[in-house]
Chain A
Amino acid sequence: MEVSEDLLNEPILKIQNVSKSFPGTKALDDVTMDLYGGEVLGLCGENGAGKSTLMKIISGGLQKDSGKLLYKGEEVAFSSPRDAHLNGIGIVHQEIINCPELSVAENICMSVMDKNPKGFLDYNWMYKTAEEYLSRFNVEINVKEKLSNLSISYQQIVEIVKALLLDCSVLIFDEPTAALTEDESEKLFAIIDELRKNNIGIIYISHRLEEVFNNCDRVTILRDGQFIDTLNIKDVEVKTVINKMIGRELGDFYPEKAAGSDEEVLLSVRELTNKPSFANVSFDLRKGEILGVSGLMGSGRTETARSICGLDRKQTGSVFLEGKELSIKSYKDSISEGIVYLTENRKKEGLFLEMSITDNVSAMSLGEMSGKILMNKSLEIENTDRYCKELSVKYSEKTDKVGTLSGGNQQKILIAKLLSVSPKIVILDEPTRGIDVGSKKEIYTLIRALVDRGVGVIVISSDLEEIVGLCDRVMVFHEGTMMGDLTDKDITESNIMHMASGIAKGSNL
């Protein structure tokens, strides 16, 4: 009797003491958790908590360094996503991964081609199968249409249907509703419910806690690559989950906050609009304060910054620097006015990986570093030395390729590049993403030093802890609009989260 009970309650997937390191960071540290058949397990944690890494290990996209993965009672290690598929573990990725030039049906049937009874491609069979599965969503999608002609939300549905086709025992959803409308999300939850009844184990990752609470049975929380807790949704409050996601001693990791900002306004933005990314954004940046900008990805925070700097076009609105209205037509104009932007995408938009440290630092200040025609090498080296010293960049020679430096040092090189033009306003987008704790602290210290010197600093970040610890004032974006300001004691992670998800509004509106 006891034996059969145990068998019934045996988890379909057991993750035991799994660890995974990347150069410079420990992404997963001794994580142990279980997934049962017929349950929906929510997986929560901040950015960088290790959720995606863990899911990639389960679904064969990455290999673990140590620990065990027990699937249906047997130890497994999937060598590739295909290997995981064949064993019944599927994943719906956060980023849509597909073949935009192929038809909807071809995309849906991609991983089940060999289930086709005939050896050749059987289009009728593919169309029929695709239609059958799509009908579960009640959406009108022509299966012969080229995928790239579909809206993002329909593409996401195709991605989900693709995974449903696999006959999985374990199905992972990584932020599946990010691109869906409310209506479509509801249909997805109905399907998830159906899958649950069919005894399939489901892991559901979402930043939207509301969804987790409405649809999951249990929730597992990760933080900094470590397992924190697994709780029954019935017995837990949202607040508890948030606290467990973020709970961390701040200590004096962050420099002391400003005693109080001047009334002097450095930068003002009025009614800035670039639809559909954001609309009617207005704010002031005062001397002596670090202004934080928070919001979910795609909420318009990065797009706003890019429009201010002339990196993206703006439709309407105006920008004033020290009371003077600017007419910025390109990023070059913005740089010469003294407004610079640190990209959130360090490798893609920031660094010249194959070029030297000096070349990278000078890239923005070529005018200052040269005579009429030729570059002034000694000036370049002097400038690089100065900022590398101020930012404590560690390197062996200035001729080293930037690609050989660690993430933290690379980020400092990018900041040195901005500082080389002696900017008045510095907009930092995710200034500490993916870098080590030591470099983080040094960057925080530098930001405070800049502000004390009279430079205006705006920090955009998904890292709530950073926003709370560092900033004197915080603006929150939600779906392209400003939800208002938070100051002093009101700057808390839960206040920001509530505003970012559109539930609450701040002051100054």
Chain B
Amino acid sequence: METVNEIRTEKTEAKNFLKKLTKIREIALIFIIVLFSIVLSIANPVFLTSENILNILLSISITGFLTLGMTVALIAGGFDLSVGSVTALVGIIAGNIFISTENIFLALLVSLLVALVMGSLNGLLITIGGLNPFIATLSIMGIARGLVYIISKGAPMSLMKLPEWLKDIGRGHLFGIPYIVIIFFIAAIIFHILLKYSRQMRKVFYVGSNEDAAYFSGINPNKIKFFVYLMIGFLCWIAGVLAIARFKSASPTFGTGLEMTAISAAVIGGASLSGGEGTVFGSTLGLILLGIVSGALVLLGISVYWQQLISSLVLLIAVLMDSIIERTKANKRI
């Protein structure tokens, strides 16, 4: 008879090192964020004031919901370009209905349905339609933005008459921290736990890691993917509602480019475009880093026109580092 399993110990050290490399992502991001903060606070002491920090956090919180969704989409092996437009559509539809009926619940309900329909459309196009997520969500992105312009006729609408409780969500504080920031971080923590420990989210990892193998394990990949895009629709609705609560207006240009910010944040945080990898913790850190970078430009008196260029450089450096680390790992294996 064969003897009981012998665990090889000689390789443990090398393996531990590899494991550290995969964990290093979050630690490295925290390190970079701290480093940035120190440098910036030396350059401008205003940076480390709680007011500035909360401003940065507030600025990323609405995008944060889209980043949560994007992280799950990337893990499933896809992505969703329509998140920015759908968020704008939620605001415009809710705003429009509220102005004409003054019934906020109707406005919220209809906008929720529209967001879920948009998410389902993405899901159906990708699963039953067999379209590439890029093409499918690009089309929905255009359709949603198109609807925004048709409904709003291109003009932003003021929503000063929103009920007080909704305005409170938009401007209220708890111990000095804006509600919106608190809501986002609670959502992020819940998502982090679900992604790591829930059965449904585990299936998302399986599908993104190897769709065929998931099928051969009794998982229906199409069902999982549909669920992912539907969920993103729901997150867009939350983002859209929080946006009108915060700005007390709905703008047809709102959310332009947010899909790219969300993808950048998730990728900086360790999500892989080839699926199966990513954490909410990492994505959130990525988003914070991007938030600090754009906040810093304002503080340092650099023109906002630089923002896009510098954010893109941050993304580029992050993925280049990744690629280099991956390649050294691969070389070691051979």
Contacts and interface: CB of A to CB of B under 8 A. Distances in A.
A363 B12 contact: no
7 contacts: A332-B218, A341-B216, A354-B276, A363-B217, A363-B219, A375-B198, A396-B9
Interface string A354-373: 11000100111011001001
B164 interface: no
A359 B207 CA distance: 12
Nearest to A403: B333
Which of B7, B209, B333: most chain A CB closer than 10 A?
B209
Contact of B209 (A331, A345, A352, A366): A352
Interface in B75-122: none
Contact of B217 (A330, A364, A394, A404): A364
Interface string B9-21: 1011001001100
Contacts of B225: none
A234 B216 CA distance: 49
Contacts of A321: none
Interface of B: 2, 4-9, 11-12, 15, 18-19, 193-194, 197-200, 202-203, 205-206, 209-210, 212-220, 276-277, 333
B194 to A, nearest CB: 8
Given A330-B218, A349-B216, A374-B197, 6 more contacts: A311-B215, A345-B212, A354-B209, A366-B199, A394-B6, A445-B2
A26 interface: no
A332 B8 CA distance: 36
Contact of A353 (B9, B209, B216): B209
A362 B197 CA distance: 13
A424 B179 CA distance: 54
A349 B6 contact: no
A394 B15 contact: no
A115 interface: no
A400 B19 CA distance: 8
Contact of B220 (A330, A362, A396, A397): A330
A353 B199 contact: no
B5 A393 contact: yes
A392 B5 contact: yes
Given A373-B199, A374-B199, A375-B199, A352 B9 contact: no
A335 B213 contact: no
A131 to B, nearest CB: 36
A211 interface: no
Nearest to B276: A354
Contacts of A370: 199
A377 interface: yes
B195 to A, nearest CB: 11
B275 to A, nearest CB: 9
Contacts of A394: 5-8
Nearest to A331: B218
Contacts of A354: 209, 276-277
A355 to B, nearest CB: 5
B161 to A, nearest CB: 40
Interface in A204-227: none
B192 to A, nearest CB: 13
Contacts of A417: 217
Contacts of B11: 396
Contact of A331 (B8, B203, B216): B216
A302 interface: no
Contact of B214 (A363, A397, A445): A363
Given A331-B218, A375-B198, A351 B210 contact: yes
A41 to B, nearest CB: 34
A505 B5 CA distance: 44
B212 A366 contact: no
Given A374-B199, A377-B197, A442-B2, A352 B219 contact: no
Contacts of B277: 354
B272 to A, nearest CB: 8
A341 B206 CA distance: 18
Interface string A329-343: 011101100000101
Given A375-B199, A396-B12, A417-B217, A355 B209 contact: yes
Given A396-B9, A417-B217, A352 B276 contact: yes
Given A389-B4, A393-B5, A366 B202 contact: yes
A356 to B, nearest CB: 10
Contact of B198 (A352, A367, A374): A374
A137 interface: no
Interface string A390-434: 001111110110001000000000000100000000000000000
A388 interface: yes
A396 B277 CA distance: 22
A343 B216 CA distance: 8
A248 interface: no
B6 A397 contact: no
Contacts of B214: 352, 363
A348 interface: yes
Nearest to B2: A392
